[in-house]
Structure 1
Amino acid sequence: MPPASSHSSDTGVLPAEASVDAGAPVQRPAHGLLARTLGRILGPVTDPVLRILVTATLIGRVGRGIVLTVSVLYFTLIVGLSAGEVAIILSASSAAGVVASFGGGWLADRLPARPLLFAFTALDGLGILGYAAASDFVAALTVGLAVGTFGQAANSARMAILARAFAPETRVHARAVLRTVTNVSIAVGSGIGAIALAIGTPDAYRILLVVAGLAYLLALVRLVRLPASVDLRPEAPVGEIRTATGSIDAVANRRALRRAAAAHSPFRDPRYLLLTALTAVFGMQFGVGELAVPLWITNETDAPVVLVAVLGFINTAIVVCFQVPLSRGTHDLRVAGRVSGIAAWLMAGACAVYATAAGLPAWFAAAVIVLAAIAHAFAEVLSQAGGWGLGFELADPVRVGTYQGVFGAGFSIGAMAAPLVVAGTTESLGTLGWGILAAVFLAAGLGTRAIARRAARTARTATAGS
């Protein structure tokens, strides 16, 4: 996002939209319960670029919530696909997203990120509209591949904009604000999606999928107003390259530029690759909440099944209320490492507590699971905050888009592996499986903390020696 602006205003409301070219935004109280609630949680959003991205996210992610709620049942009940065919579509979409995450970041280092974000978001919305027209497996698979590709490519372009347009001390805050808004919008979209589930007719499903696609396209009205400043990016030092080649020959200099770009590649940065891998492993905690815990409650405990919905509400509430405040300061490597370590212990503890719910009386099992879910939610919030800070701070600014693309691709790989690793472990090994997961999350989180501490020491040494 653009140059960092101060977020010190204490009005406690989300200000009304103002033109990016109009100078300082006019502070007006936002209306409506949702706006007032968001204003209290997020604080005043005074930066014009952040304001544009916030409103675009509020609109577009409602569509995401609708798709998450209705897509699987739409494929099975309306299109008539088998469970295996739906699994293939979801897996293929995720795999396409892994490749697109890196590709979108790579393009954002070579082309202006603003039109890329606009184009990818538009194509993502058109893909979701295509769901409503899908009538067989091949059509649904094609649309799923398109949505997975363009959705992740858009996310990489957005991350490149965040990394370039904000100063280090505010870009993690901006990322936290967007994640909070995303959770709120998805919750709203899920509620809207429930309408289709209640009505149950093919037309109800298709109409809501069209609404979801239109929400993405409506968000473009805001994205088109992003200023050209978000496309500014550091360039390779051409003068040094010419000196190194000893020639002004165009071919020689192009080769030298390619070598310089390769030197800034994340694939030649083992520390960043290790960080990406550890973050991806810890990111499998999402699979714990989405799959392992519901299965554990249903198959291994006497807790009521309705508890699954309660846990979803608890998680959303904690993320919405605490993601922004607990992300403050994580641009500092030491703080990012500290919160990553805390997240590691919280997640390990949550796994251990989930395991103890088996065999307990229903009310006691429910209380134990709620306690674990609260620790799990805070582990999620803190791990995200630490990961964002390190992902931004340890990236090479010359190729920030590619670095963010690799970081996002790693997370996508972790998300793909989560269902097999997480659910398979707990379902096959029971309590022992939960113990293994606790050890895995603890190792990943503490490994992330170790990377942050070493990077902080290196930075202090370099500063002292300069």
Structure 2
Amino acid sequence: MSPTSPTDTSTTPDTGATPAVEASAREARPSLVARLLASVSDPVLRILVGATLISRIGRGVFLTVTVLYFTLIVGLPPGEVAIVLAAASAAGVVASFAGGALADRFSAKKLIIAFTAIEGAALIAYVFAGDFVTALVIAVICGFFEQGANSARSAIIARAFEGESRVHARAVLRTVTNVSIAAGSGLGALALALGTAEAYRGLIVGAGVLYLLGLFQLVRLPSRVDAPARPTVAEVVTATGSVDASATAEAIAAERRDWRRHSPWRDPRYLALTVLSAVFGMQFGVGELGVPLWIQRETAAPEVLIAVLLVLNCIIVVVFQVPASRGTHDLRVAGRVSAIAAWLMAGACLVYAAAAGLPVWFAVAVLVIAAIAHAFAEVLSQAGGWGLSFELADPVRAGTYQGVFGMGYSIGALASPLVVNATAITHGFAGWAVLAAIFLASGLGTWWIARRAALAAPAA
């Protein structure tokens, strides 16, 4: 150690000031609990967090028992179960857009309350499903109103927050969602362990009740989360100062034309962003379908590793989603994290593929490395996508824009099992390489859109 090193206390007189300053700094530094409370200081975010915390526990319960409930209790063959789940996803595609569009014309608060109430009641109705048709109808209702509520929630976030706080709110809610679903999955395991029809039905009823309990939080949302009311005929007459019928009709028609000009369907940049985000969103299908089948069929790793990797993914999302989302309201930052996510996901696909044929523990290590890269790609892609979906949207029709963006994700979720099966599962390493190229192209395409938008922003 150098004689003049600042850590050499033998040459520095002890005045007692430094320990006092350090102690004061320690006292001033907020605790973990204080930081968590500060992150949800906004009243709207606190309400959404409370509702999400309660209802998503119910969602975790239901996700855990769904397939086995349909097969073991209702008695549906696997093919009919697949049709039921696909129909629910297809209904969600339509509802994603419809929910956002309705949130621009009606009260987003009333919509999310109504949609959540119907979804909770539909979940409880599953206990009466005794055949394929009944299960199909209930699943379509659940899928439709779940995605409709999600779009209404996105519209609420778009209006209640600005800039970085909007992305922060999405990150906090996603973190809470993961924690709640993990807790609900633990409760769902009770039904799996008991294996009785009563246990399954009891937990499904409990899941629906939790959704309904979340309504006690949602009714507290303030009116500022709703879209500004569109002008009525009387207001148009007052504004134009004329009672002439033709002039009034022309004014109303002009207002409607202006409304249509703000449509996301007339915004090619936003539509391109939606398509690229939907393509990258197929990474969820890789984790839910591709990785489990790859481990079971092509690697020497034990099947229990599937659960371990799911838990690892959940932990990374919970710990890193909020920090990774900071600053992504800036178009350049959002583009940069989307590019990083693209390279990470492409690399994860190739590393997953490399696990085939390796000795057990070597395969386990390789799969864990791939899963870590995959989880961070998920976290960063979500952060970048949220920032761009808010900042590139027209605020006049925030709900419709968020509905279109959500619809893209729903389509990606619907297509991902088919794409993953047609590539990685069917063609092995070559298929994984195709997936890697798809994710790289979509992520870098998102980066290009963000870069162009950032360059155009000063001129605008």
What TM-score do the two structures reach when normalised by structure 1? 0.89
Deviation at 1:11, TM superposition (A): 3.8
Paired position in structure 2 for 1:48: 43
Paired position in structure 2 for 1:382: 380
Paired position in structure 2 for 1:17: none
Q: Paired residue for 1:339, among 318, 323, 337? A: 337
Aligned-partner Cα distance in 1 for 2:112–2:405: 18
In the alignment, structure 1 residue 215 sits paired with structure 2 residue 210: yes
Query: Structure 1 residues 366 and 43 mapped into 2: Cα distance closer, same or farther (>3 Å)?
Result: farther
Paired position in structure 2 for 1:404: 402
Aligned-partner Cα distance in 2 for 1:290–1:375: 16
Equivalent pair of 2:236/2:252 in contact (CA under 8 Å): no
- Structure 2 spans left out of the alignment, 5+ residues: 1-27
Aligned-partner Cα distance in 2 for 1:385–1:178: 12
Q: Paired residue for 1:83, among 66, 71, 78? A: 78
Paired position in structure 1 for 2:170: 175
In the alignment, structure 1 residue 117 sits paired with structure 2 residue 117: no
Q: What does 1:256-295 align with in structure 2 at a 5 Å threshold? A: 256-295=254-293
What TM-score do the two structures reach when normalised by structure 2? 0.90
Moved over 6 A (4+): 236-239
Query: Structure 1 residues 13 and 46 mapped into 2: Cα distance closer, same or farther (>3 Å)?
Result: farther
Q: Match for 2:156: what amino acid?
A: I
Equivalent pair of 1:59/1:185 in contact (CA under 8 Å): yes
Q: Match for 1:439: what amino acid?
A: A
Deviation at 1:254, TM superposition (A): 2.2
Q: Paired residue for 2:307, among 291, 306, 309? A: 309
RMSD: 1.9
Q: Paired residue for 1:154, among 149, 157, 166? A: 149
Q: Paired residue for 1:395, among 375, 393, 398? A: 393
Paired position in structure 2 for 1:195: 190
Aligned-partner Cα distance in 1 for 2:398–2:227: 12
Deviation at 1:424, TM superposition (A): 2.3
In the alignment, structure 1 residue 131 sits paired with structure 2 residue 126: yes
Aligned-partner Cα distance in 1 for 2:442–2:327: 21
Paired position in structure 2 for 1:143: 138
Query: Structure 1 residues 10 and 260 mapped into 2: Cα distance closer, same or farther (>3 Å)?
Result: farther
Equivalent pair of 1:116/1:154 in contact (CA under 8 Å): yes
Query: Structure 1 residues 204 and 94 mapped into 2: Cα distance closer, same or farther (>3 Å)?
Result: same
Q: Match for 2:197: what amino acid?
A: P
Aligned-partner Cα distance in 1 for 2:399–2:358: 49
Aligned-partner Cα distance in 2 for 1:248–1:337: 49
Q: Deviations over 1:405-453 (max 9, x none)?
A: 0000000000000001012211211000000000000000000000000
441-450 or 135-144, larger mean C-alpha shift: 135-144
- 2:450 aligned counterpart, secondary structure: helix
Q: Match for 1:137: what amino acid?
A: F
In the alignment, structure 1 residue 95 sits paired with structure 2 residue 90: yes
Aligned-partner Cα distance in 1 for 2:81–2:132: 8
Paired position in structure 2 for 1:359: 357
Q: Match for 1:215: what amino acid?
A: L
Deviation at 1:162, TM superposition (A): 0.1
Q: Deviations over 1:304-342 (max 9, x none)?
A: 111101100110000000000000000000000000000
Q: What does 1:7-26 align with in structure 2 at a 5 Å threshold? A: 11-12=30-31
Equivalent pair of 1:105/1:160 in contact (CA under 8 Å): yes
- 2:106 aligned counterpart, secondary structure: coil
- 2:105 aligned counterpart, secondary structure: coil
Q: Match for 2:404: what amino acid?
A: V
Paired position in structure 2 for 1:416: 414
Query: Structure 1 residues 97 and 360 mapped into 2: Cα distance closer, same or farther (>3 Å)?
Result: same
Deviation at 1:155, TM superposition (A): 0.5
- 2:76 aligned counterpart, secondary structure: coil
Paired position in structure 2 for 1:5: none
Query: Structure 1 residues 340 and 166 mapped into 2: Cα distance closer, same or farther (>3 Å)?
Result: same
Aligned residues: 427
Equivalent pair of 2:345/2:377 in contact (CA under 8 Å): yes
Deviation at 1:227, TM superposition (A): 1.0
Q: What does 1:222-233 align with in structure 2 at a 5 Å threshold? A: 222-233=217-228
Q: Deviations over 1:53-78 (max 9, x none)?
A: 10110000001001100011000000
Aligned-partner Cα distance in 2 for 1:254–1:330: 39
Q: Deviations over 1:70-97 (max 9, x none)?
A: 0110000000001111111101100000
Query: Structure 1 residues 396 and 234 mapped into 2: Cα distance closer, same or farther (>3 Å)?
Result: farther
- 2:260 aligned counterpart, secondary structure: helix
Equivalent pair of 1:94/1:148 in contact (CA under 8 Å): yes
Query: Structure 1 residues 87 and 438 mapped into 2: Cα distance closer, same or farther (>3 Å)?
Result: same
Q: Paired residue for 1:425, among 402, 423, 426? A: 423
Q: Deviations over 1:215-243 (max 9, x none)?
A: 0000000111111121143868979x969
Equivalent pair of 1:234/1:397 in contact (CA under 8 Å): no
Aligned-partner Cα distance in 1 for 2:42–2:130: 44
Aligned-partner Cα distance in 1 for 2:138–2:417: 22
Q: Paired residue for 1:67, among 62, 65, 70? A: 62
Deviation at 1:116, TM superposition (A): 0.6
Aligned-partner Cα distance in 1 for 2:414–2:294: 20
Paired position in structure 2 for 1:6: none
Q: Match for 2:380: what amino acid?
A: L
Equivalent pair of 1:11/1:44 in contact (CA under 8 Å): no
Paired position in structure 1 for 2:253: 255
Equivalent pair of 2:121/2:208 in contact (CA under 8 Å): yes
Aligned-partner Cα distance in 2 for 1:415–1:12: 39
Aligned-partner Cα distance in 2 for 1:255–1:150: 32
Quick check: which has more Rg, 1 or 2? Answer: 2
